[in-house]
Amino acid sequence: MSTKLLNYFIGLAFVILTYFIGYQTDRSDFVQLIILYFALFGLYLFAYRNTKTEQTLHFFIGVAIAAKLLLVFAFPNLSDDIFRFIWDGKLWHAGINPFDALPSYYAENGFPEGTNQTLYQSLNSPDYFTIYPPVAQLTFYVATLTRDTFWSSVVMKLFLFAAEIGAIWILLKLLKNRVGAEKRILLYILNPLIIIEVMGNLHFEGVMIFFLLLAYYWLKKGWVNLSAVAFAFSVASKLLPLMFLPFLIHKLGWKRSWQYFTIVGVVTIALFYPLLGSFFIENFGNSLNLYFQKFEFNASIYYVLRWIGFQLSGYNLIQILGPLLAAIVAAIIFAKAIKEKTKTIENLPEQWLMAIMLYLCCTTTVHPWYTALPLVLCLFTNYRFPIVWSALIFLTYVNYSYETYFENLWIVALEYSLVIGYLVYEWQRHRALVSDN
């Protein structure tokens, strides 16, 4: 079989498997899901290794775009977060700020126009305040103009598809001048986790990553003010990029970095302004506190500490451990950023990669789509452990295959043992290379 024909076969098989995951698989069908996913992952790795010419690279970029576009019309089948997106959007149309009251309040006191008992019963967290920032909220508002759940999903996915195309464009520019690195773009855009979780299941990591890449690209071009604006939009999509700001202090110098921080702050506040209401700060803060003090899923260090806490106290210490770990992570990141004196912009992605990895190892909740950020950052480094993670973390869908939800901690232990083990291996190899040079 010729190389060209083989590539066509791989591309077609990739799109077909994507279709079956997006349209024909429920998250409770774990055996089917994991077989299809690992088959898709195998094709992804083979495509990357088989890409040796610019023509082949462009072909597989086209395959990635085709797979993403295919899932625009697939209603999210592995996540029910979309119903909260629609709920928030419909509240805006009813003239109600989603941060003003819990969904359960309206269930007891009357549903606003556009909402109803059926939609309410589809929410996975009716007793928690929404946590989605303004860029996401704007998307929810526009998407629910259709007043139809399916087409609202399509509109939201078109926003994400545009962000994915933008990310591809920026990545091509960022990787172009790196020797032999241009094909690394496939490690992100063709990764099954990105295609399924961002485009298939409607997670806004894709939008956050687009704006973060744009901020990094403009920073490298020397367009500092524009970079700060893009960074603010990234924060307004997901709050996580805030942890990366301290690493800019020595890159830009104290004066320019404070200018950068000021622009980020002003633009972020402006973006949040439509959300501000009499209860916004309190209720949004409650959502963040609950995230660290209530939610538990696929954690690593926290689960170890939780077990120790049970042995010592007899009950779950999440209300102490969650905020404590968050504070420790923030302190370590800030200390590391202040200690790091290098002024080159080139090593920012590696610093950001290690910061987000530290955060994810210490937080109480790590959903599969959370690995999208370390995955895209690793393209600019010699580390590949996020790729290993993007394969293994899909095993956590086994939790939904039981008659009642149950977290299989053996799967969690296997996942983190392999991922952290590979990270340590790569870190030691990196240190050895540095010392040899």
The mean-pLDDT minimum among 65-79, 122-136, 298-312, 420-434 falls in: 420-434
| Residue carrying structure tokens 């869908």 | 397
At 147 the pLDDT is 84
- Three-class SS state of 297: strand
CA dist 201 and 91 (Å) reads 22
CA dist 347 and 382 (Å) reads 11
What are the CA-CA distances from residue 251 to residues 66, 208, 256, 308, 428 (Å)? 38, 22, 9, 40, 26
> Is 341 a residue whose pLDDT tops 80?
no
Q: Cβ distance 290 to 254 under 8 Å? A: no
DSSP state of 199: I
Confidence of residue 139 (pLDDT cuts 50, 70, 90): very high
The tokens for 225 are 């003010």
DSSP state of 180: T
What are the CA-CA distances from residue 381 to residues 212, 221, 384 (Å)? 16, 19, 8
- Give residue-wise pLDDT tens across range 7-43: 999 999 999 999 999 999 999 999 999 999 999 999 9
User: Which amino acid, one-letter code, is at 278?
Assistant: S
At 1 the pLDDT is 62
DSSP state of 365: B
> Is 294 a residue whose pLDDT tops 90?
no
The tokens for 314 are 């007899």
Q: Pick the residue with more confidence: 133 or 289? A: 133
- Give residue-wise pLDDT tens across range 342-398: 778 888 999 999 999 999 999 999 999 999 999 999 999 999 999 999 999 999 999
Tell me the average pLDDT of the chain.
92
Its pTM stands at 0.94
- Give residue-wise pLDDT tens across range 397-432: 999 999 889 999 999 999 999 999 999 999 888 777
| Residue carrying structure tokens 């080139």 | 346
A 10 A CB-CB count for 296 gives 15
